[in-house]
Amino acid sequence: MDNTDNKIMGVDADIIGISDDGSNELFVDSPAQIMKFINDKYKEVQNNEKYSHIVSTRELMALTTFEIAKELLTIKGNEAGLLDTNTKKIKELVKIVDDALQIPE
């Protein structure tokens, strides 16, 4: 990875303790992939007509953080909804199987 790729929204990733040495097991994907995702989202916010009036880098960074958090919470909400739906269906199936296995006296 060259020096320009080792930045997150223009901040040197080494300064904040993120490196792409492959030893950080906290990341599901490589740090390079995560940095690319963040930088792509930052460019998306910068190029969004809705935010064209904002010139402050700090504010653009905050908006980028907001957009990423919004995306994450949407995904988490969808997962929670799926889990609730699946749990309900599993309970219904267990009841059907239990009822079917009941031996009439």
- CA torsion through residues 42, 58, 7, 68, sign: negative
Instruction: Map out the domains of the chain as residue ranges.
Output: 3-101
pTM of the model: 0.59
**Residues 1-42: tens digit of each pLDDT:** 444 567 878 878 777 766 655 555 555 567 778 888 999 999
> Residue 96 above 70 pLDDT?
yes
pLDDT tens-digit series, residues 73-88: 998 888 888 888 888 8
Helices 31-46/57-101 angle, 10° precision: 120
Give the pLDDT score at 2.
47
